[in-house]
Amino acid sequence: MLGVKLCGIKLENPTVLASGILGVTKEGVDRIGKAGAGAVTLKSLCHEERQGYKNPAIIVWEKGMLNAIGLSGQGISNAIKDFRRLDDVSVPVIGSIFGYRTEDFAHVASEMSKLKPAMIEVDISCPHVDYGKPICSDKGIAAEVTKAVKKNTRIPVSIKLSPNVDDIKEIAHAVEKAGADAITAINAASGMVIDIDAKKPVLANKIGGITGPALKPIAVRCVYQIYETIKIPIIGTGGITYGKDAIEMVMAGATALGIGTAVYYRGINAFKKICDEMQQWMKKNKVKNLGEIRGVAHK
Ligand SMILES: Cc1cc2nc3c(=O)[nH]c(=O)nc-3n(C[C@H](O)[C@H](O)[C@H](O)COP(=O)(O)O)c2cc1C
């Protein structure tokens, strides 16, 4: 009843662990698959090792989370040694990549393909890394990166978009035309929280990415607008915490559902809980499969 097909990949249910949350070791990936996720996205990897930003790099406030981790990570060559392959775990794995220049994206895509992930997600949208900005908000560069990645892999590619742009439809259209097989929408929105006692921003980086419940209406709006513009599937991501949020995202047009911050609120069983709540809603509303309600909010 919840099974979906995403770029030809069969997912037992539409929930996908979003990039950056737990997807750093092979054992972790397997554990999340066994806990009920339909697919798992790895933390974004680039051509080199990165330290990330100083602490505090993450805070939880009343309506969500704010983070400026700074894309810390081991780099693609060490990841290849660690993971060895990604097609032998309990769940389809999405390899997330990023780079500073187009050539880096192309190189990391080609290296990531050696691990045989089910899909590659291209993070052009980190809200607190400077080089992310011109890529995510410039349709020409976004298309150039998409073409370069597509040229270097045969694995389906999803481009991850940012809400921090003037017109997300324009970017979605450009990357679809450049050959993207799917779109992941959205990455975190740019934000700041000030500690009024300390009289300064809480995060060491000052600016961070808003995720969790506060992001949901922005994510739903983006998915709705993208669905009207393109034909490729959307991994709707942002603030999905309960089954009702997931249903809302499907009604906006999403095929699969990225889930990140909800793991903090609801634990590793968040995927199973969200699926159970979706099924309860579907039963009550006599909906047999998600295809019946996908994009229904557009009618
Ligand atoms: C701590 C943290 C780290 C993240 N790291 C990445 C990352 O490495 N690459 C990426 O594309 N998105 C990253 N994200 C963004 C998430 O994948 C997702 O797009 C965002 O959190 C919105 O979904 P959510 O509200 O369900 O968390 C990160 C988010 C959080 C909270």
Secondary structure of 202-260 as H, E, C letters: CCCCCCEEEECHHHHHHHHHHHHHHHHHCCCCEEEECCCCCHHHHHHHHHHCCCEEEEC
Distance of CA 170 from the midpoint of ligand 1 (Å) = 23
Q: Which of 21, 50, 273 to mutate to test the pocket of ligand 1 (most atoms within 8 A of CB)?
A: 21
- What does the pLDDT average to over 104-132? 88
Q: With bands split at pLDDT 50, 70 and 90, how would you rate the model's confidence at 125?
A: confident
Ligand 1 neighbours (beta carbon < 6 A):
18-21, 43-44, 58, 65, 67, 69, 71, 96, 123, 160, 187-188, 211-212, 215, 237-240, 258-262
Distance of CA 191 from the midpoint of ligand 1 (Å) = 14
pLDDT at 131: 53
Q: Please tell me the pTM assigned to this model.
A: 0.97
Burial class (CB within 10 angstroms; exposed 0-12, middle 13-18, buried 19+) of 80: middle
pLDDT at 139: 94
Q: Percent of the chain, pLDDT > 90? A: 86
Active-site choice (126, 136, 222, 275):
126
- What does the pLDDT average to over 207-219? 96
Q: What is the mean pLDDT of the chain?
A: 94
Q: Percent of the chain, pLDDT > 70? A: 98
Nearest to 38 by CA among 246, 256, 260, 263: 256
Indicate if the pLDDT at residue 35 is higher than 90. Answer: yes
pLDDT at 74: 86
pLDDT at 23: 76
pLDDT at 225: 98
Q: What is the pLDDT of residues 242-263, one digit of tens each?
A: 999 999 999 999 999 999 999 9
pLDDT at 132: 52
pLDDT at 133: 60
Q: Which of 19-23, 87-91, 142-146 has the lowest mean pLDDT?
A: 19-23
Distance of CA 17 from the midpoint of ligand 1 (Å) = 9
Q: Which amino acid is at 297?
A: A
Residue nearest to atom 21 of ligand 1 (CA): 211
- Per the annotation, the verdict on 7 as an active-site residue is no
Burial class (CB within 10 angstroms; exposed 0-12, middle 13-18, buried 19+) of 238: buried
Query: d(Cα 277, Cα 14) in Å, to the nearest integer?
Result: 13
Query: d(Cα 192, Cα 214) in Å, to the nearest integer?
Result: 13
